[in-house]
Amino acid sequence: MAILSPLSNCCEWDSDKVQKIVLNHPGNRGLTPKAMRTILKEYVKDGGEIHCTKETREDWLTKREFYYWVVALVDDIPSGLFIEMELTIEDQDYPVVALVNAHPSTPR
């Protein structure tokens, strides 16, 4: 599983731009991108569910068919932290996941 891989590049933020966006999101209460990635890894390690959703958003349809997401519990974020990711390399042995968004969860 890419998220828990000991390899350094199997679960990373999509870009510096995305990291800056999530870092500056006021709802993320000052969590750094590195802290958010750690929260994701702990959530998955503890057996948290990873959801898969068919992509329907116009801006993303040409890039991917599905996206994956979790809502991890975080003390300072009562609704939980929504972390969105995409599978960028589907290699059976060494899959790669890119984190593309993170913000307080909204009702689904």
Neighbouring residues of 108: CB distance < 8 A, sequence distance ≥ 6: none
How much is the pLDDT for 108?
66
How much is the pLDDT for 8?
74
Greater confidence, 4 or 73?
73
Q: 88 pairs with which residues across the strands?
A: none
How much is the pLDDT for 12?
94
How much is the pLDDT for 94?
87
How much is the pLDDT for 91?
87
How many Cβ atoms sit within 10 Å of the Cβ of residue 60? 14
Q: How many domains does the chain have?
A: 1
- Cα angle 54, 3, 49 (rounded to 5 degrees) comes to 55
pLDDT tens digits for range 37-83: 999 999 999 999 999 999 999 988 988 999 999 999 999 899 999 99
Q: Which domain holds residue 17?
A: 2-104
